[in-house]
Amino acid sequence: MKRLHASYTSTTDLALFLLRVWFGLLLFVKHGLDKAMNFNHVSAHFADPFHIGSTPSLLLVLLAEAVCTLLVILGLWTRVAAAIIVINLAVAFGFAHRFQLFGARNGELAFAFLGAFLALCFSGAGRWSLDGIRGR
């Protein structure tokens, strides 16, 4: 029975590691890094859903898509970082995609990211992470 439990735990930790790294890298490289590298150009045209200004809105998105994704990839403060990403993705899915999975607004990628990071909010990082090493 111990062997079965150890195997299950190891498989779960591998799955959480893959989920964190796979979706974290994709969100970071495709969205966070691009916005950070082109900050001045992007901020001039960035959406302002909360009426705080384009630059502050972009900074909040960069917090989620650049900083928090790196924390999730490393498995450090994973639940908090994933929650920030979930909030960002929920706003993007609602504001930019109008809650449409398919069609002209094409929100299925945001919806897929939302599901992956929501799962990490509930599960945490697993043992193969900095949180796991720290015993959290």
Q: Are 68 and 82 contacting, i.e. CB atoms less than 8 angstroms apart?
A: yes
- The tens digit of pLDDT for each residue in 22-36 reads 999 999 999 999 999
By CB neighbour count within 10 A (0-12 exposed, 13-18 middle, 19+ buried), where does 1 fall? exposed
3-state class (DSSP) for residue 135? coil
pLDDT at 1: 46
pLDDT at 136: 64
Predicted model pTM:
0.88
| Domain ranges, residue 84 | 2-134
How many structural domains does the chain have? Answer: 1
- Residues written for the chain: 136
- The tens digit of pLDDT for each residue in 75-123 reads 999 999 999 999 999 999 998 887 887 766 688 889 999 999 999 999 9
